[in-house]
Amino acid sequence: MAKRILITDDALFMRVTLKNILTQNGFEVAGEAANGKEAVQMYQDLKPDLVTMDITMPEMDGLEALKQIRDLDPEAKVVMCTAMGQKNMVVDAVQAGAKDFIVKPFQPDRVVEAVKKLLAA
């Protein structure tokens, strides 16, 4: 069965781009969240195998959503996917339990490799 992924990004363009990359590589997109708050709710409803998480978003940012998801499920696999590549952001995300950190703009292969690696583990 295809592994199910929840995409989180406030930009429709980025959600569509990630969805295309993931579905073309055999993954199923379980849902699309437009902010951190939606992601936390959808994580509980959909129980995806992995979450991609933007950081700069309205309502609730990705770092807070990451923390809440990891509180709900300490085994949750969350990959940050953000334009904010500075060291302090990476450190904060990894300390909060993020499994990988992809900086935008990215090449599709970077996303596929990260997701495959985590879902094989």
Q: What is the distance, to the nearest Å, from the Cα of residue 14 to the centroid of all Cα atoms in its chain?
A: 12
For position 16 contacting another protein by CB under 8 A, the verdict is yes
User: In the numeric block, which tokens belong to residue 105?
Assistant: 């703009």
Q: What is the distance, to the nearest Å, from the Cα of residue 5 to the centroid of all Cα atoms in its chain?
A: 8
DSSP code of residue 54: -
CB of residue 19 vs another protein: minimum separation in angstroms? 10
Contacting another protein within 54-73 (CB under 8 A): 56-58
Q: Give the SS3 label for residue 102.
A: strand
For position 87 contacting another protein by CB under 8 A, the verdict is yes
Nearer to another protein, 16 or 72 (CB): 16
> Where on the chain is the footprint of another protein (CB under 8 A)?
10-14, 16-17, 20, 56-58, 82-88, 103-105
